Amino acid sequence: MKKEQPLLSICIPTYNRCQYLKKSIDSIVAQNEFIDGIVEVIISDNASNDDTKKIGKKYAQKYKNIHYFCNEKNIRDENFPLALSRGNGILRRLSNDTIIYKPNALSEMCHIIEKNKENKTYLCWTNGAIKNSAKMQEVDFHDFIYNVSYYITSIACFSIWEKDCIEIENDTLGCELSLWQVRKCLELASKSNCVLICNKNYTDIQKVENKNISYGLYHVFYENYFNLIDPYIKRGILTIEDKEYLEKDLLYHFFTGWCIKWEIQEKGLNYSKTENLKNLVWNQYKGKPYWKKYLGYYNIKKCKMQIAKWIRRT
């Protein structure tokens, strides 16, 4: 009997996070869509030196629709397209090893995939990140970028249809920027007649102890991000006004929190030893017309975070 193709591959690139990975997988295997074989899990281990291999092999032996792969060496972000190439599903979704899938999340996700598998609408999963927005929204490419903004930097929002996965393991452009998922998302969404933003909150995120941000937040999330956005402006698909909006949104809703954490040296983070994040952000934005107003916003946010930090200590 021919093996039925899974509808969804949850592809998890992972490295040295065995305790988080186990909890993530446990949240998947308890759901009916996994039990029925509609959903499979791909574990793409980037040559971890903790117990990831032990855990991956254990789950793969127990469940026929969990597949464990271990790379010979750490190939960094090239593990993203490689993980997708290892999937068998009609749709393949990247998933952080820290994600916990809520009960019935797979059911609702599979319903969306089933409805769109014929027309192959590009699907983006924003997990409730877009405030004051509908849970499901069909938009064109311009409105997609305007709504989703910098959130496309999250690998958890990325999914791709099987038809676009041919030789994807060799499609590594953007890995050198630590933003492969952004480059590929822009490519696929810009070619699609319609983008479906799935904004319902299907997951929770485990907090990572000693999170590594030493790669440089400004370098990746400003310089590299706009290196990928700029070609769409040059081609007239996006405008300078769109870029200005994205810059402002990035400042208020991404850099603010990280700059405050850097300034107060929030514990549990592995900071860059060379990047002065606040100075880089300040120098980039201080000429903007909204800068003076922003400083007041920043100081209020900083005060709130300091109070929260003090409460946690007491």
DSSP 40-62: EEEEEE-S-SSSHHHHHHHHHHH
Dihedral over Cα of 269, 273, 278, 282: its sign: negative
Pairing of strands 99-101, 8-14: unpaired
pLDDT at 1: 37
pLDDT at 312: 74
The pLDDT tens digits along the chain (314 residues) read 346 899 999 999 999 999 999 999 999 999 999 999 999 999 999 999 999 999 999 999 999 999 999 999 999 999 999 999 999 999 999 999 999 999 999 999 999 999 999 999 999 999 999 988 889 999 999 999 999 999 999 999 999 999 999 999 999 999 999 999 999 999 999 999 899 999 999 999 999 988 999 999 999 999 999 999 999 999 999 999 999 999 999 999 999 999 999 998 888 899 888 999 999 999 999 999 999 999 999 999 999 988 887 777 76
Structural domains of the chain, with CATH = 8-205 (3.90.550.10), 211-313 (no CATH)
Cα torsion through 101, 107, 111, 113, rounded to 10: 40
pLDDT at 206: 97
| Residue 88 to residue 74: CA distance in whole angstroms | 23
| Residue 312 to residue 314: CA distance in whole angstroms | 6
Six-digit token string for 287: 């000429």
| Residue 286 to residue 295: CA distance in whole angstroms | 10
**Average pLDDT of the chain?**
95
pLDDT at 3: 66
In contact, 46 and 76? CB cutoff 8 Å: yes
Report DSSP state, residue 6.
P
Instruction: Give 36's contacts (C-beta < 8 A, 6+ positions apart).
Output: none
Give exposure, 46-75, as e/b (b: 16+ Cβ within 10 Å).
bebeeebbebbeebbeebebbbbbebeeeb
pLDDT at 310: 78
